[in-house]
Amino acid sequence: MFEIKSMIPFPNISPEIINIGPFAVRWYGMMYLLGFLASYLLIKAQIKKKGLAFGAEFVESLFSYLILGLILGARLGYVVFYNPTYYVSHPIEIFAVWQGGMSFHGGLIGVIVAGLLFSRKTFSDFWILSDLIVATAPIGIGLGRLGNFINAELYGRITDVPWAVLFPSGGPLPRHPSQLYELFLEGILLFVIMWFLKNKNFSNGVISGLFLIFYGVFRFIVEFFREPDAQVGFILGFLTMGQVLCAVMIAAGLVIIRLRMQKNIRN
């Protein structure tokens, strides 16, 4: 039994910023838009500072690939990783993105595939582009977690900590505001780390590997406080699907760093 010492009431912010007839501008969508805008501007600033031969049209085209890759990957990732049984029985609902259900790890895969296709089309170095992107990605990730908090979704496990929040859809007991933990770790702190590291004299691709490792570690930690998806539950009795995917991310990051450093030594 939890002894409820104190509790922070949920601020009950409307998920909709403005509603005009059947159309609504939602905070979550606005967070995506602001995240992409911030990333776009900061990538252009990095390109100018580094003297890279990428023009404005190049960056705009890159982002058209990234946005499409993120949306498709995030949705398909949720379908495959978190609820495959349901969507096999209801395949038409795969396209019902307005009902919710997006996966960060699926979005990451989608962005990687989009980046590979774009770099191949434009004959550009994938790892240079990747390093530029990951230095700014935490902004969008952090804003997305703030959107999750406003939507009162993806909340944490039941707790009696003084800053526990009573979420409208989370039952009668207070829970960890795990979205805010992620906002701090995966958004603010990760951005500070990546922005500090971006100008270090690393081989191309090492920054991308470090991003995978740091994000994977931060998310793995937060998953201990976050309520696992009901349809998935725990894996091996104590791990969440998010932690399994983060372990893969960390391993991939280590492999990328090793391979990219070895390639630099050979060159």
Of the candidates 138, 142, 168, 143, the one whose C-alpha atom is nearest the C-alpha of residue 155 is 168
| Domain spans of the chain, in order of start | 15-266
- 234: phi then psi, degrees, rounded to nearest 5: -100, 150
**pLDDT for 3 beyond 60:** no
**pLDDT for 97 beyond 90:** no
Helix (H, G, I), strand (E, B) or coil at 262: helix
**pLDDT for 5 beyond 60:** no
Strand 8-9 versus strand 165-166 pairing type: parallel
End-to-end CA distance of the chain: 61
Condensed to tens digits (0 to 9), the pLDDT of residues 167-184 reads 988 898 999 999 999 999
pTM of the shown model: 0.91
